[in-house]
Amino acid sequence: MQTVTERFLRYVRFNTQSDPDSDRTPSTENQLVFLKELEKELQSIGLADVRLYKEGIIFATVPSNTDENVPVIGLIAHVDTSPECSGENVNPRIVEYDGGSIILNKKENITLGPDRFPALNNHIGEKLIVTDGKTLLGADDKAGIAEIMTAIEKITADQSVRHGKIRIAFTPDEEIGKGTDHFNVKEFGADFAYTVDGGEVGELEYETFNAASAVLTVNGVSVHPGYAKDTMVNAIKIASSIISELPEKESPENTDGYSGFYHPVNIEGGVGKVKIELIIRDHNNDIFGTRKQFIKELSDRYNTLYGAGTVTLEMKDQYYNMREVFNDKMHIVERAEFAMRRAGITAKIQPVRGGTDGSFLSYIGLPCPNIFAGGINFHGPYEFIPVESMEKAVETLINLIRTD
């Protein structure tokens, strides 16, 4: 029987970055390589109905070992890592943390310290798994996978832990918003589920942003600069002006809690054409609508200034705040609170400042809060996870599914 740490260290060596520009499902072949490994491992543990679908989703079952009439519970995590930072050749190591800065890469002078990352101060005296400063770690969400696998191996081996039927799902492409595009809720067959995809110990979330993406394409006129007078329309300057009109205080780096934002995530092009990619986020649905209208009016205004067709806008909703789903289903959240309390943890209920597979699943009939996996500083080379946090997650999951 492997420990959660052993599993995690093995999993992160699989490069499973998703690709937002791919037209295949899953978006990268490497995700399927890892999924096939998980398929074999689920079978070796003794789970039933293990099935890997061509779309890159695994379903599996832990059969009930009780005659009690209890709900079918699902546990879900995603296999892909963020395309924002390399996930190739991840080189993790365990550090006994006694405070101060950790040298991640001596040659390149890359350090992880509490001056920039004060969360480290909460983990003095613990064993931290860190990167070598060149890649992300992959705790988002291979920690969740390792914790689910370890928990189900434990309860499968120890029949004294009474539980109902448990359904397991591992999904691809969560980081690019496509993780549940092919998720068959009816076939999954759970009454409710939990994504194991949060951060610090105790995190419990059933509120997410409402989310939209927007692509503004600025169409300029490119001519030789020596003959540009009264002819050139510089798309770069127009794009810069558009971005400058986004409220500075309503950006990710200046907001927290329930405050929403506008966030330019990519810009590319030249004098003749520039494409701006934005994401729009807010927990409040009315304000979310106002934010989308602001972007539309911004686009319209620049077309008035520079001529029709100068700016084209493609905007689409991505997911919605799942809070409304839980108005009459708070027992699902309370069950997670109790499981944490039983593990000696005080639940930290807070809104998700991002997305989760659970948001979409909740809206298509599978209520699905998000619970902690233990990772910190996701999506970059300063990512780390305490071993003790993963062990607490395993204990919480066992408490979550047991019937006694």
pLDDT in tens, 98-138: 999 999 999 999 999 999 999 999 999 999 999 999 999 99
Which of 196, 199, 246, 233 has its CA nearest to residue 311? Answer: 233
Which of 92, 82, 83 has its CA nearest to residue 134? Answer: 92
- Mean pLDDT computed over every residue of the chain: 95
Which of 181, 104, 54, 175 has its CA nearest to residue 384? Answer: 104
Query: Mean per-residue pLDDT for 147-171?
Result: 96
Nearest-angstrom CA–CA distance, 354 and 208: 7
**Which one is catalytic: 19, 39, 41, 80?**
80
Rounding to the nearest 10 degrees, give the CA dihedral for residues 383, 74, 46, 27.
-50
Question: Is 0.75 surpassed by the pTM of this model?
Answer: yes
pLDDT at 291: 98
Characterize 26-63 residue by residue with b for buried, 16 or more Cβ atoms within 10 angstroms of its Cβ, and e for exposed. bbbebbbebbeebbebbeebebeebebeebbbbbbbbe
- For 192-334, list the strands marked E by DSSP: 192-198, 203-205, 210-219, 261-269, 273-282, 311-319
Under 8 Å between Cβ of 250 and 295: no
Q: Judge whether residue 190 has pLDDT over 90.
A: yes
pLDDT at 152: 97
Q: Judge whether residue 66 has pLDDT over 90.
A: yes
Q: Judge whether residue 320 has pLDDT over 90.
A: no
Q: Judge whether residue 356 has pLDDT over 80.
A: no
Chain segment 229-264, per-residue pLDDT in tens: 999 999 999 999 999 999 999 999 999 989 999 999
Active site (annotated) includes residue 153: no
pLDDT at 53: 96
Query: Mean per-residue pLDDT for 314-340?
Result: 93
Question: For the sheet containing 273-282, what is the strand order?
Answer: 261-269, 273-282, 210-219, 311-319
Under 8 Å between Cβ of 180 and 61: no
Mode of pairing for the β-strands spanning 166-171 and 210-219: unpaired
Active site (annotated) includes residue 80: yes
**Which one is catalytic: 140, 153, 174, 395?**
174
